[in-house]
Amino acid sequence: MTANDQRLNRNVIITCAVTGSGETAGKTPHLPVTPKEIATASIEAAKAGAAIAHIHVRDPETGAPSRDPELFKEVVDRIREHDTDVIINLTTGMGGDLFLGPDDVPTDFDREATDCVGQVERMEHVEMLLPEICSLDCGSFNYDMPNYVYVSSIGMLRTGAERLQKIGVKPELEVFDLGHIWFAKQMLAEGILDAPPLFQLCMGIKWGADGTTRNMQTMVDNLPAGANWAGFGIGSNEMPMVAQAALMGGHARVGLEDNLYLEKGVHATNAQLVEKARGLLEAMGSRIQTPYEARKTLGLKKLEQMKKLRAAA
């Protein structure tokens, strides 16, 4: 189903975001940290019903977020060597962390905490590994930390969209507020995004769009006609947003990137969250798309096609 179809989606794609980049490694025993654990979590999520695994990597020693291409390579190689045919969706969100200095000298950046690099470097692992999908965060915004800004400028986004178009990787357009959708539509009008675009509505991350039904509806109403889209909520709002996205005609995302609990006080695994979302969606009358079906729905290119495009780029 696409944007502007305001009825229950009867054929839902589930994405599982298996680890994320938050400081969560010490908060649950189930968060995958090493490449082997991340690959295993992705495979287990697929067996539970997820068509797509959204993947970050972490330092195997410390559990801290990382953008090391070799860690991504190990995860991707392990998944591709397995017989579970899950769609791989790699993040390009790492490398946008800017910590400003004190108010009287804001350009005296916190060099230790800041990790802010250009779009090409943020996408190095994507151009190397050619996943079917990668994320593209469609604008800069504030997180809930003093003096911290996530940087994703319009110049960076145009660079990213153009390079992804040349190699055939589908960008998942991560939108945290209405202005992000507005600029994504501008890139579509400029021809640097292929139709139909794929949007992810990121609900409830401070200080983006609050995770309410009304806000999700407003974001859906602003999507371009024909767009594929999914949505997610964080914490206890994860499953309500699964139901809400399906009711509005979209797809759904769950996983330990967004929520650590199966129920109050009970730590979840990624597979358990997928199973819970699947049960909820099936109880509503929807069925869950397989990876094969999701590839058709989203118009994804095969690895061999992308390799030829990369060679010609």
In a domain, 1, yes or no: no
User: Does residue 2 sit within a domain?
Assistant: no
In whole angstroms, how far apart are CA 289 and each of 50, 78, 213, 256?
8, 23, 24, 21
Name residue 287's beta-bridge partners.
11
Q: Tell me the per-residue pLDDT of 47-98, one tens digit each, with 9 for 90 and over.
A: 999 999 999 999 999 999 999 999 999 999 999 999 889 999 999 999 999 9
Buried b (16+ CB within 10 A) or exposed e, 30-62: bbbbbbebbbbbbbbbbebbbbbbbbbbbebee
Confidence band, pLDDT 50/70/90 cuts, at residue 6: confident
Q: Look up the pTM and report it.
A: 0.95
Domain range spanning residue 269? 11-312
Residue 3 has pLDDT above 80, yes or no: no
For residue 249, the model assigns a pLDDT of 96
CATH code: domain of residue 126: 3.20.20.70
Please give the Cα distance from 257 to 273 (Å, whole number): 11
The pLDDT confidence band at residue 195, using thresholds 50, 70 and 90, is very high
* Assigned domain for 5 exists: no
The answer as to whether 298 is a domain residue is yes
pLDDT in tens, 138-162: 999 998 888 999 999 999 999 999 9
Instruction: Supply the angle between the helices 154-167 and 178-189 in degrees, to the nearest 10.
Output: 50
Does any domain span residue 3? no
**What mean pLDDT do residues 174-179 have?**
97
Query: Does 23 score more than 90 pLDDT?
Result: no
**How far apart, in whole angstroms, are the C-alpha atoms of residue 17 and residue 178?**
23
Q: What is the pLDDT of residue 99?
A: 93
| CA dist., res. 279 & res. 281, Å (int) | 6
pLDDT at 4 exceeding the cut of 70:
no
The one-character DSSP state at 104 is T
120 assigned to some structural domain: yes
Rounded mean pLDDT, 177-199: 97
Count of the separate structural domains present in the chain: 1
Q: Is residue 172 part of a domain?
A: yes
Does 302 reside within a domain?
Answer: yes
